[in-house]
Structure 1
């Protein structure tokens, strides 16, 4: 079933409250997916690259990485943010991938991903998500259907620099797409069909498309039923499949654009009473960019 939320801020005044608002929206969607939860937040750094990593034994793994890499590592429960220069990124990522038990969840100048098994409220508390600031973000609470309940199987999925996706639905051609994407050099780590969707968009954007164009191409190439909410460093997009059987609501004011699987996820947002509220049309790309 799954629950999706997203918030794209137009007004910088709200940026300090991004994590708090996203958390409230996601917790409201708990009964749509109690297995695992996660949030991706976009917030500008100091010009360096941020690598979000996760480990089952972080108190052992992260200090060893810090000593070996000589880069800044800030631990947040089972996750950590590694900060390095753009020139260091390839070597740092290679070392992380070679470290047993440590996984890369996202890489980019702005993106940070926090996800774990458990209810949204407990996940938010573990990573102190309400305290996070940022310009936009997306969240997901999962009811597992096609793959195991694990941290890596939780959403959001990030398969490209500053890119991520959350998904409600199921793809029918994900196995064939997975093979195609691997041939194109796009890494797909889990068996989750949602990661294949994220990787597909990464591939299209590597070929020169922007987020809106990549979503448009997906209407023809992705079979199944789905609602996607996706993010890039500066952008935020929504797409439903041509049948659009999964629920979705968008709201827009002068201060923000908000998405929820159900309207009740949006009711505590400031100024929601004056918002334009509508159901996204099937096979129609909605895309905003800073």
Structure 2
């Protein structure tokens, strides 16, 4: 079943409230996905710096000395800010690829959740309100964010199986539904050099969009192309460094609602996820059409 929320801010005055608003939206989706939850927040960039969000099952052991070991390995300064089972590593942007490779090679107990200039991703097994409180979402700021509550129907309840999935810099996806051709797509992308961490079909969808954008397509164009290449029933909400996109499959059997004001664009699996947003009573509210790309960019 699963629940999805997303909030793309147009008004800079709301950026300090992003986490508070997004956490309230996620709380309404608990009964759609009580198994696990996750969210991505797009914050302010730091000149010349990149972020790598990592997670570990035993963070006390895995994160001990991680920043200094990684700094020595890549020949650059690394700062680490830990949040329970996750940590955000800050490092020079031109060393981000080397750092990710070093993490995979030298620290197998550490899992990379996301990489980019502004994105941070947090996800864990547990009731969504507990996950949100654990990572302090309500206190986070930023320009946009997406979140997901999961009811696992096709794979185990694990941290790696939770959403969002991120397979490209500052890009992530949350998904409600099921793809029928994801195994074939995964094999094709593996041959092209893409690496996968799970058997989840949603990771395949995220990787597909990354591959298309790596070929020069915009997020909107990549979503358009996915209508031809992805088979199944699905609702996608996707975030990039500057963009926010929504797509439903041609049948559109999964519930979805969009709302737009001069201050924001908001998405929820159900309208109740949007009711506490400022000015919602004056918003343009509609059900997104099947097989239609909705895309906003700053």
Tell whether the structures are fold-level matches, with TM greater than 0.5.
yes
Post-superposition CA distance 1:190-212 (Å, at most 9, x none): 00000000000000000110000
Partner of 1:32: 32
More deviation, 267-276/184-193: 184-193
After superposition, residues 241-252 of structure 1 pair within 5 angstroms as 241-252=249-260
Contact 2:223 2:293 in 1 (8 A): yes
> C-alpha distance in 1, partners of 2:92/2:31?
41
Partner of 1:289: 297
Aligned-residue offset at 1:188: 1.6
Aligned-residue offset at 1:257: 0.1
More deviation, 81-90/25-34: 81-90
| Aligned-CA RMSD value | 0.7
SS of the residue aligned with 2:37?
strand
Partner of 2:59: 58
Aligned-residue offset at 1:100: 2.3
Partner of 2:9: 9
For these two proteins, the number of residue pairs brought into alignment is: 290
After superposition, residues 194-273 of structure 1 pair within 5 angstroms as 194-273=202-281
Q: Is residue 2:107 matched to residue 1:79?
A: no
Match among 151, 159, 172 for residue 151 of structure 1: 159
SS of the residue aligned with 1:63?
coil
> C-alpha distance in 2, partners of 1:229/1:184?
25
Partner of 2:201: 193
> C-alpha distance in 2, partners of 1:161/1:80?
17
Aligned-residue offset at 1:64: 2.5
Q: Structure 1: 5+ residue runs without aligned partners?
A: none
Post-superposition CA distance 1:152-177 (Å, at most 9, x none): 00000000000000000000000000
> C-alpha distance in 2, partners of 1:90/1:168?
30
Contact 1:9 1:257 in 2 (8 A): yes
> C-alpha distance in 1, partners of 2:248/2:148?
16
Runs of 4+ in 1 over 4 A off after TM superposition: none
Aligned-residue offset at 1:182: 1.0
> C-alpha distance in 1, partners of 2:271/2:219?
25
TM-score w.r.t. the length of structure 1 is 0.99
SS of the residue aligned with 1:201?
helix
Match among 88, 93, 109 for residue 95 of structure 2: 88
Post-superposition CA distance 1:39-63 (Å, at most 9, x none): 0000122121000000011112112
Q: Structure 2: 5+ residue runs without aligned partners?
A: 72-77
SS of the residue aligned with 1:74?
strand
Contact 2:70 2:103 in 1 (8 A): no
